[in-house]
Amino acid sequence: MQFENNAVSIQNLTKTFGDHTVLKELNFDIPKGKITTILGFSGAGKSTLLKHILGLTKPTSGSIHVLGNDLSKLDEVELRGFRQNFGMLFQYAALFDSLSALENVAFPLREFSKLSKEEITERSAQLLESVGIQKISHKNLPSELSGGMRKRVGLARALALSPDIILYDEPTTGLDPITTKMVNDLIVETHEKNSNREMTSIIISHDVKATLKISDFVAFLDRGNIIEYLPAKEFANSTNELVEQFINL
Amino acid sequence: MENVEKNQNFIVRKFVESTSNLGKSIIESVDGLGRFTRFILRFFFWVFKPPYRYKLFFEQFYFIGNKSIFIILLSGSFTGMVMAYQTYFGFKLISVDSLVGPVTALTLAKELAPVLTGLIVAGRAGAAMAAQIGTMKVTEQVDALEVMGINSIQYLAVPRIVAATVTVPMLSALFLFIGNFGSYMVGTKALMIDEAIYFQKIGEFMFLEDIWQGIIKATVFGFIIGSIGTYFGFQVTQGAQGVGKGTNMAVVWGMISVLVLDYFLTSFLIHIL
C-alpha cells in the first residue's frame, strides 16, 4: 500500500543472523497519523522489524526512513537523540521497579527536557491522570500496581515526551478480557487525543479481534515478509489462506 | 573379532566427542573473553561522555561502601587478630616474636586487605550488580532505556564500575587499619609484646610503597569486580533461571579474577615500587 504521508518507509529490508534470514526484501510503508497493526505468528520477524524501526538493529541490506530520516545515515549519538521521537509501551510495561509510578513517568522528562523539578512533577501527574491513574497511586512502586495499572503508567511514560510515533509491543498479551478492553480503549483514546499533531501508532499484536476494531490498517508478517496489508475493514475479508487461517483460529 | 572392532569404534567415537567438546569450550571461552573485552572498551568510551550522572554514582558508592563497612570491620579485625596469634607462636620458636607487628602489618597491607576486601565485595556487591541488571534485562527495563535513547552501559554499568573502583581501595584501607588494630590488641594485650617495640619494628620494616601496593591492587580489584558484575548482568537471558546463573557467574569469576590478578599484580608491582 502507498500513502501520501509516511511515518515509516521501509525499502528492500533484509536482515540475516548467520545463515538465518529473518526479514526478506521487505517493503512496507506506515502512514502518518494512523493506527497500523502488524500481525503475525511467533517467530515471523515482528520484533526484529520493530527493532529496525527504532534503529536498535542495523539492516543487512535495504533502508528505513522514519519521519523522513534515513536511519542508516545517523550515527549512534544522533540515533539516540532521534529515538526521543518514539514512545513505546512494552508487553509487560517495563517500568523501572525501583521508581514510583510518578518517577517512572518523570524519568524521560528528567533526562531530556529542560523543565524544572516542579514542572516535571506537575506534568507527570497530569500524564498519569490522563491515563486514569488516581493521585493516590502516584507514589506506588510498580510491584504495588495491578497489570492494567502498570500498562497505564507505561503508556503515560511513553507519552511523556509527546512522541511522533508510539509503538505498542503486544499490549494485551497476558491480560484478562476486561483489562484487554481497557487497554484497547486507552490506545484509541490516546491516539484520538494526539490526532491534532498526527501521532502515529504502531501495534505489534496477536489479538486479531481487537486489532480489527482499533486499527486503521493491518499488515500480516509471515516468514520475514508482509504477505497482506489492507485497511482494517478489508483485512477481515482477506482471501489469503494464511491470513484466513490466522483470523479464524 | 567383531567385539574388538566395536570397542575400537567406541573409543574413536568417545575420542572425537571429547575433542569436539574441548574445542567447543575453548571457542566459547575465547568468544566470552572477546565479548568482555568489547564491554570494557564500551565502558571506556561512555565513561568520559556527558551526561555525568553523579546521583547514580553516589547511590552505588553508598551501596558498595557504606553497606560493606560492617563486614569489613568484622573480618578485618579478626584477620588481624588471628594473624598476630599465628605469627607469634611461629616466631617465638626462633626468638623473633618482636617481629609480629611488622609481619602482620606488611601481610595485611600488601595482600590480605586488598584480596579479602576484593573477595567480600565480589561476593556481596558483584552479585548484587549482576542480579539487578539481569532482572532489568529480563523485564525489558534495559530495552526501555535504549528505546528512550539512553545508553544502558552508560546508565547502568558506568556508575557501578566507577563506584566499585573508588570504593574498594577505601574499604581495603579500612580493612588494613582495623586489621592492624586487632593485631596490636592481641599482640600487646594478650601476648604481652612490648608496645614500644611493636611500633618501632613496624616503623623499621614497613614503607609507604607497601601501602601503595595494596591500594593499587584494591583499585584494580574494584574495577574488575564492577566490570564482571555488570557484564554478567547484561549477559542474562531466560528469566529467573538466567538471573541466578548470571549472579553465580559474577561471583565465581569475580573471586577467581581477584586471586589470579593478585599474583600478576604482585609480580609486576614488586618490580616497579
Average pLDDT, chain A: 90
Rounded distance between C-alpha atoms, residue B229 and residue A129, angstroms? 39
Question: pLDDT tens across A41-72, in order?
Answer: 888 889 889 999 999 889 999 999 999 899 98
Of all residues in chain B, the one with the smallest CA distance to A53 is: B147
Of all residues in chain B, the one with the smallest CA distance to A99 is: B141
Domains defined for chain A, CATH in brackets: 6-67+164-247 (3.40.50.300)
User: Which of A92, A97, A108 comes nearest B148 by C-beta?
Assistant: A108
Question: pLDDT tens across A152-192, in order?
Answer: 999 999 999 999 999 999 888 878 888 888 889 989 998 99
Give me the pLDDT at residue A139, please.
Answer: 93
Give me the pLDDT at residue A158, please.
Answer: 93
A80 CA to chain B: closest CA distance, Å?
4
Give me the pLDDT at residue A110, please.
Answer: 93
* A80 pLDDT more than 90: no
Rounded distance between C-alpha atoms, residue A149 and residue B230, angstroms? 31
* B272 pLDDT more than 90: no
Rounded distance between C-alpha atoms, residue B117 and residue B132, angstroms? 21
Q: What is the mean pLDDT of residues B230-247?
A: 92
User: Which of B143, B149, B151 comes nearest A94 by C-beta?
Assistant: B143
Q: How confident is the model at residue A123 (pLDDT cuts 50, 70, 90)?
A: very high
Average pLDDT, chain B: 93
The partner residues of A21 in beta bridges, in order of sequence, read A16
Q: Is B209 on the interface with A (CB under 8 A)?
A: no
Rounded distance between C-alpha atoms, residue A58 and residue A64, angstroms? 10
Q: How far is CA B140 from the centre of its chain?
A: 29
- A-chain CB neighbours of B149 within 8 Å are 79-84, 112
Q: Is A86 on the interface with B (CB under 8 A)?
A: yes
At residue A225, what are phi and psi to the nearest 5 degrees? Answer: -140, 150
* B212 pLDDT more than 80: yes
Nearest residue to A124 (alpha-carbon basis) of A140, A108, A141: A108
Q: Which helix (H) or strand (E) holds A170?
A: none
Q: How confident is the model at residue B1 (pLDDT cuts 50, 70, 90)?
A: low
* B237 pLDDT more than 90: no
* B179 pLDDT more than 70: yes
Of all residues in chain A, the one with the smallest CA distance to B150 is: A80
The answer to whether A205 touches A89, Cβ cutoff 8 Å, is no
Give me the pLDDT at residue B46, please.
Answer: 93
* A220 pLDDT more than 80: yes
Question: pLDDT tens across A84-103, in order?
Answer: 899 999 988 999 999 999 99
Question: pLDDT tens across B201-211, in order?
Answer: 999 999 999 99
B46 CA to chain A: closest CA distance, Å?
11
Q: What is the mean pLDDT of residues B182-188?
A: 95
Q: Is B140 on the interface with A (CB under 8 A)?
A: yes
Rounded distance between C-alpha atoms, residue A167 and residue A154, angstroms? 12
H-state helical runs in chain A? 46-53, 76-82, 101-112, 117-130, 147-159, 177-193, 208-214, 232-235, 241-247
Q: Three-state SS across chain B? A: CHHHHHHHHHHHHHHHHHHHHHHHHHHHHHHHHHHHHHHHHHHHHHHCCCCCCHHHHHHHHHHHCHHHHHHHHHHHHHHHHHHHHHHHHHHHHCCCHHHHHHHHHHHHHHHHHHHHHHHHHHHHHHHHHHHHHHHHHHCCHHHHHHHCCCCHHHHHHHHHHHHHHHHHHHHHHHHHHHHHHHHHHHHHHHCCCCHHHHHHHHHHHCCHHHHHHHHHHHHHHHHHHHHHHHHHHHCCCCHHHHHHHHHHHHHHHHHHHHHHHHHHHHHHHHHHC
Q: Is A3 on the interface with B (CB under 8 A)?
A: no
Q: Is B56 on the interface with A (CB under 8 A)?
A: no
Cell of A244: 484466513
- A-chain CB neighbours of B135 within 8 Å are 97
